Structure formats: structure tokens, C-alpha cells
Amino acid sequence: MEDGKSDKVVRAPPQSVLFCCDHNAVRSPMAEGIMKKFYGTACYTQSAGVRSDMEIDGFAISVCAEIGVALERHRSRSFDQMVEWGDDLTSFDLIVALTPASHRRALELTRVVHLDIEYWPILDPTGLGEGREERLASYRKTRDMIAARLQARFGEPRKTR
């Protein structure tokens, strides 16, 4: 849902989750980073894109740094690269698609195996806003939608350090 709320029952994080979007440059890296901050090592978390043709977005890095999530070391990767590098999609307990294209691709890649796939429509902040502050506000809205959706699905963040 657009407001970050979900009709789903709150459940503990699975042992592993893969977040995916179109380029693995904004939404899925944000989700990966926030998930790791909220739930630590309780859940193995990765992200991927339909394509990996873009670097991590600077605005995504900035707004995540505001909440203590470091994304500057993130390297974009695609579903195909995951397979090439030996990652097995079936090793994930849950795939969360954040865009229609990534949802379709996740369904295609897992059509012969039983794997939970959820679609969370999350605002694409790229291209929104005229100036820097308006653009940052759009990215903050996306970040906050992801954070709210994670908490609605997996419960309150765990206390860390």
C-alpha cells in the first residue's frame, strides 16, 4: 500500500530476504540497508535489480545516512549477475519486489520452485522535485515508506548496541 501500511500479519523476519527493484540503485539498496539496521544479523539480507546498469544513487546515500544507514559501499547487481556469481535465488526464504518489473522477473525466475514473493509498491523518487531540497524530500518519503513497511511486516526494530 502506498502509505507503507500492510494488511499482512506482523511476523518475525525470515532467515533470509532478497529485496529487488529495477536497477538496484535506489529502493532495493535502501530496503537492504534499513532491514540490516532494524533486524541485524537475525536475517540474511541482500538486494538485486532487474538490471545493474546504474551506480547507487547519491540522494539515496544521503537520506539513509540521516538515519544511520550507510549505503556508499553498495554495488549494484542484477538477478543474472547473482546467478553468474553462484547465488541461488531459491536459498532465500522471501523475495520482496519493490517495482512491477522486478516482481515479474522474480516470478519468472522462481516459477518452478516454491518461494514466497511479495510485492510492495514503493514510490520511485527519481525525477521528483525541482531543486535539491524537494528531491531530498522525495527520497525521504521513499525511505520512510520502506521503513514503515518493514515494521508493519516484521515488527519493531531490534535494539542494537
Residue-wise pLDDT tens digits, 13-33: 889 999 999 999 999 999 999
Q: What pLDDT, on a 0 to 100 scale, did the predictor assign at position 104? A: 95
Q: What is the mean pLDDT of the chain?
A: 88
Size (the chain), residues: 161
Percent of the chain with pLDDT over 70: 92
Mean pLDDT, rounded, for 48-58: 88
Q: What pLDDT, on a 0 to 100 scale, did the predictor assign at position 160? A: 56
At position 39, the amino acid (one-letter code) is: Y
- pLDDT-based confidence at 158, cuts 50/70/90? confident
Domains of the chain: 16-154 (3.40.50.2300)
Number of neighbours of residue 40 by Cβ within 10 angstroms: 15
Q: What pLDDT, on a 0 to 100 scale, did the predictor assign at position 1? A: 42
Q: What pLDDT, on a 0 to 100 scale, did the predictor assign at position 17? A: 96
Q: How far apart are CA 161 and CA 149, in angstroms?
A: 23
Which strands form 94-97's sheet, in the order they lie side by side? 44-49, 16-21, 94-97, 116-119
Residue-wise pLDDT tens digits, 60-78: 999 999 999 999 999 999 9
Mean pLDDT, rounded, for 90-111: 92
- Residue 18's SS3 state is strand
What φ, ψ does residue 142 adopt, rounded to 5°?
A: -65, -45
What φ, ψ does residue 106 adopt, rounded to 5°?
A: -60, -40
The DSSP call for residue 42 is G
Q: What pLDDT, on a 0 to 100 scale, did the predictor assign at position 89? A: 84
- Residue 54's SS3 state is coil
- Residue 132's SS3 state is helix
Q: How far apart are CA 1 and CA 57, in angstroms?
A: 24
33-37, 58-62, 78-82, 116-120: range with lowest mean pLDDT: 78-82
Contact 71, 61 (CB under 8 A): yes
- Strand 44-49 and strand 94-97: the pairing is unpaired
Task: State the residue for C-alpha cell 533486524.
Answer: 39
Residue-wise pLDDT tens digits, 106-148: 999 888 888 899 999 999 999 877 888 999 999 999 999 999 9
